[in-house]
Amino acid sequence: MKEIFNRRSIRKFEDRPVEKEKIDKLLRAGMQAPSAANQQPWEFIVVENKESLKTLSLTTPYATPVANSAVTFVLLGNSNSFKVPSGWQQDMGAAAENILLEATHLELGAVWLGFATADVAIDYITNLYNLPENIKPFAMIAIGYPDGQKNEFVDRYIAEKVHYEKW
């Protein structure tokens, strides 16, 4: 599938909104992901307001692309949905990758901004949105029309990483 091979992290975006239909498709792609026991733990905050994007871009030192994105999704896990608690972050990762691939398909650019293991970032998002205890910040995805960067193939296949039948 060409989207898998061409997807890249896009961190600079045109000053141009992403159409509502495309935002809807991205969210649908996220929710189409597989999840442990089909627990579908995801929730999404969709942010387009420019001031809010600036505030969100301060979540981690590596989240600056959020500031010039057209729309950023904050991905959250809802522990009330957990049936396999140890699987929720893997579920969220599958949803995140689906969104990145759909963004590539829609000729958008996107970048995954992680904070699952950074307590400071989790606290920042929790306080910003006054999240209840059961809502767990996972990551953000900044999205927009690429400005100067493009989704293009880079070969990462390493034959030595493949082990047939035995280690």
Contact set with ligand FMN (CB under 6 A):
8-9, 11, 60, 62-63, 65, 111-114
Q: Which two tokens stand for residue 144?
A: 């927009």
Nearest CA-CA partner of 34 in 91, 84, 74, 78 = 91
Q: Which is nearer to ligand FMN, 52 or 60 (CB)?
A: 60
Q: In this structure, is the dihedral angle defined by the CA atoms of residues 95, 97, 102 and 106, taken in order, positive or negative?
A: positive
The distance between the two most distant Cα atoms of the chain, rounded to a whole number of Å, is: 54
Q: Which is nearer to ligand FMN, 95 or 113 (CB)?
A: 113
- Per the CB < 8 A criterion, the answer to whether 96 and 141 are in contact is yes
Q: Which is nearer to ligand FMN, 45 or 99 (CB)?
A: 99
| Minimum gap (Å) between residue 167 Cβ and ligand FMN | 26
Nearest CA-CA partner of 86 in 36, 125, 33 = 36
| Minimum gap (Å) between residue 165 Cβ and ligand FMN | 29
Alpha carbon distances (Å) from 102 to 9, 32, 107:
13, 11, 9
Q: Which is nearer to ligand FMN, 12 or 83 (CB)?
A: 12
| Minimum gap (Å) between residue 56 Cβ and ligand FMN | 12
Q: Which is nearer to ligand FMN, 4 or 46 (CB)?
A: 4
Which residue's C-beta sits nearest to ligand FMN?
A: 114
| Minimum gap (Å) between residue 166 Cβ and ligand FMN | 29
- Per the CB < 8 A criterion, the answer to whether 139 and 75 are in contact is yes
DSSP, res 146: B
| Minimum gap (Å) between residue 62 Cβ and ligand FMN | 3
